Amino acid sequence: MAVYTDVSDGALRAFLSEYQIGDLTAFRGIAEGVENSNFVLRTTGGDFILTLYERRVDPDDLPWFLGLMGYLSDHGLSCPRPVPARDGAALRTLAGRPAAVTTFLSGVWPRQVLPAHCAPVGAALATLHAAGQGYDAVRPNALGPAAWPALVAACRADGDSVQPGLMAELDAALAEILPAWPGQGGHADLPRGQIHADLFPDNVFFLDGAVSGIIDFYFACTDILAYDIAICLNAWCFDADGSFDVAKSRALIAGYESVRPLSEAERRALPVLASGGALRFLLTRLYDWVNTPPGAMVTRKDPLDYLRRLRFHRAVRDGGAYGL
Amino acid sequence: MAVYTDVSDGALRAFLSEYQIGDLTAFRGIAEGVENSNFVLRTTGGDFILTLYERRVDPDDLPWFLGLMGYLSDHGLSCPRPVPARDGAALRTLAGRPAAVTTFLSGVWPRQVLPAHCAPVGAALATLHAAGQGYDAVRPNALGPAAWPALVAACRADGDSVQPGLMAELDAALAEILPAWPGQGGHADLPRGQIHADLFPDNVFFLDGAVSGIIDFYFACTDILAYDIAICLNAWCFDADGSFDVAKSRALIAGYESVRPLSEAERRALPVLASGGALRFLLTRLYDWVNTPPGAMVTRKDPLDYLRRLRFHRAVRDGGAYGL
């Protein structure tokens, strides 16, 4: 739930006077989103989203993110399109924060993932990957495998307080995953491109059973395309009781392949990529867990949800577990 | 910032199937509001607000609140109008909570109150009071003077930890205000009716300098009309540095009187009513402050803001201080 920075009337009016998007008629803070402050902005010209970028986003990355969103939107993906002001610039400043106006997308994100959601989300992910091939600028994945040893180290002192033996298990997982990673230790690399890297259900809007929009590109980066599928296997294919639902993963991968077929090497790499995806979310959640004062006004997500996912993927021996 | 209860897709679909308001096209949690969970609900028929009533609202009061909103909306006030489902009932159940759909209002609440806001808000308050005269059902003010001694008692053990000497000052204020209250101790009563009782800036939307809507009627009750003005003097007329801005109060009262002139007795009672208003918000904030665990996910508002207001009003000797 997030409005971290509020916007005074005068500042909002001055900000909007630089745009040609009509006159303001309504302005409401949005509860969703944990990284930035978001508002629904209604004008006589339509609906828009106003985002103020908070401290977790590096301002230097914003031109890349906004450029990617504009490019994907131009190339067949339904995603927020940055709206430039009169001077042509979409990235501006408001209330002391970097800020941008983007288009409003219809749809509702699924609170409860059903197998029927998974083929459309797989196809939308492949559409994103295909469209992103023409966007040449590279943004390295700041939360990729190279970052994991430092995250483990940062959690070492307090991690076992969350669950005894946790840090030893993370050390073992890291020692297994890193040398097996595509492009590492003699393993062939896999196709790379622009990935979303955070395609959880609350970032995907549906309307009438179809994906109507993908949002929140502020973890997007240039990395192994199949790693994005592996993140989706973690984000979409485990049931509320923690069990893996192979019907969901089969549908998700089939949906993906309806747009972009996977190579044999990509399929073979799914278990290690999915293990890495589970480890990545486990580590950032664990880091936040042990570094968030109990009184802080943020929702801490349980890192152990991802320990169960990590164990599942590490035990996978072939693609059959994913319905391949 | 508030979405306390989320709504599953299936439950939302089933809920909306009972209405004739078109097909769902978008659904976003709203950050504003601290008592209930609110969502903007867009359908092919327009925009609506969906509210789930949380624990602080007594379900038995909801028919009165929704009835009042419908009545005021029918009688010239721009406020949320409850939208009945096909069976005619507006108060329903969703996700285990009482729930209602209301109309969406345009406008933006003022983050920074200017004198120019105050005449329109005064006029809107008087319009509410005039319209409410035809709504006969009575709801006693659960946070009126009769409730203050118990709130003081509930804060006694910990209150002085917020500021030394605070409880003695509250005892003195209470001993001064209660006997001087209209209708008490031989004082004549004042005109009564339906009051909003919580008309803070975040409950008033403006558009092009005019009030476009008044929201959040969940503290509304049947009480002294001028007490509602006294609450507004507290909510709208102090500057950010804590000083009272007589230009704002003069405008607010003049705006009010452009619709409903005050009697001499109402004017004379403003200092004690305003002292009571300051005490009421001081006490509920203090109660929340001393009873909220530091780690709880709610924003505690500083009670001492209202100690300064209380001191100001207790020192007022005549209406000149309010610009009368």
> Contact B26/A107, CB-based, under 8 Å?
yes
Which residues of chain B make contact with A40, given a CB cutoff of 8 A?
28, 40
Q: Of the candidates A6, A27, A297, which has its C-beta nearest B297's C-beta?
A: A297
Tell me the per-residue pLDDT of B233-269, one tens digit each, with 9 for 90 and over: 999 999 989 999 999 999 999 999 999 999 999 999 9
Chain A positions with Cβ closer than 8 Å to B: 1-3, 6-10, 12, 24-32, 40, 42, 104-108, 110-112, 205, 207, 294-295, 297, 299
Tell me the per-residue pLDDT of B131-189, one tens digit each, with 9 for 90 and over: 999 999 999 999 999 999 999 999 999 999 999 999 999 999 999 999 999 998 889 99
Tell me the per-residue pLDDT of A138-175, one tens digit each, with 9 for 90 and over: 999 999 999 999 999 999 999 999 999 999 999 999 99
Q: Which of B3, B4, B30, B54 to mutate against chain A (most A CBs within 10 Å)?
A: B30
Tell me the per-residue pLDDT of A6-65, one tens digit each, with 9 for 90 and over: 788 889 999 999 999 999 999 999 987 667 889 999 999 999 999 999 888 899 999 999
Q: Distance, in angstroms, between A3 CA and closest chain B CA? A: 7
Which residues have CB under 8 Å from B275's CB, separation 6+?
B173, B176, B177, B310, B313, B314
Which residues belong to CATH 3.90.1200.10 in chain B?
115-322
> Contact B108/A26, CB-based, under 8 Å?
yes
Give the C-alpha separation, A249 to A261, whole Å.
Answer: 15
Lowest mean pLDDT among A23-32, A277-286, B217-226, B228-237: A23-32
- B190-193: long-range pairs with CB below 8 Å, 24+: B190/B224, B190/B225, B190/B226, B190/B263, B190/B265, B190/B266, B190/B269, B191/B224, B191/B225, B191/B226, B191/B263, B191/B266, B192/B222, B192/B223, B192/B224, B192/B225, B193/B129, B193/B132, B193/B133, B193/B222, B193/B225
pLDDT surpasses 80 at A305: yes
Chain B residue at shortest CA distance from A26: B107
Q: What is the pLDDT of residue B293?
A: 64
Average pLDDT over residues B119-138: 97
Q: Distance, in angstroms, between B291 CA and closest chain A CA? A: 14
Confidence of residue B1 (pLDDT cuts 50, 70, 90): very low
Chain A residue at shortest CA distance from B202: A28
Q: Distance, in angstroms, between B10 CA and closest chain A CA? A: 8
Which residues belong to CATH 3.30.200.20 in chain B?
9-103
Q: What is the pLDDT of residue A1?
A: 36
Which residues of chain B make contact with A26, given a CB cutoff of 8 A?
104-108, 205
Q: Which CATH superfamily is A9-103 part of?
A: Phosphorylase Kinase; domain 1 (3.30.200.20)
Q: Distance, in angstroms, between A271 CA and closest chain B CA? A: 31
Which residues of chain A make contact with B27, given a CB cutoff of 8 A?
108
Which residues of chain B make contact with A6, given a CB cutoff of 8 A?
111
ipTM over 0.85: no
> Contact B111/A7, CB-based, under 8 Å?
yes
> Contact B29/A26, CB-based, under 8 Å?
no
B115-322: CATH topology: Aminoglycoside 3'-phosphotransferase; Chain: A, domain 2 (3.90.1200)
> Contact A29/B25, CB-based, under 8 Å?
no
Q: What is the pLDDT of residue A266?
A: 97
Q: What is the pLDDT of residue B196?
A: 98
Please give, one letter per residue, the 3-state secondary structure of chain B.
CCCCCCCCHHHHHHHHCCCCCCCEEEEEEECCCCCCEEEEEEECCEEEEEEECCCCCCHHHHHHHHHHHHHHHHCCCCCCCECCCCCCCCCEEECCEEEEEEECCCEECCCCCCHHHHHHHHHHHHHHHHHHCCCCCCCCCCCCHHHHHHHHHHHHHHHHHHCCCHHHHHHHHHHHHHHHCCCCCCCCCCCEEEECCCCCHHHEEEECCEEEEECCCCCCEEEEHHHHHHHHHHHHCECCCCCECHHHHHHHHHHHHCCCCCCHHHHHHHHHHHHHHHHHHHHHHHHHHHHCCCCCCCCCCCCHHHHHHHHHHHHCCCHHHHCC
* Packing angle of the helix pair A148-162, A264-291 (nearest 10 deg): 50
Confidence of residue A2 (pLDDT cuts 50, 70, 90): low
Tell me the per-residue pLDDT of B10-44, one tens digit each, with 9 for 90 and over: 899 999 999 999 999 999 999 876 678 899 999 99
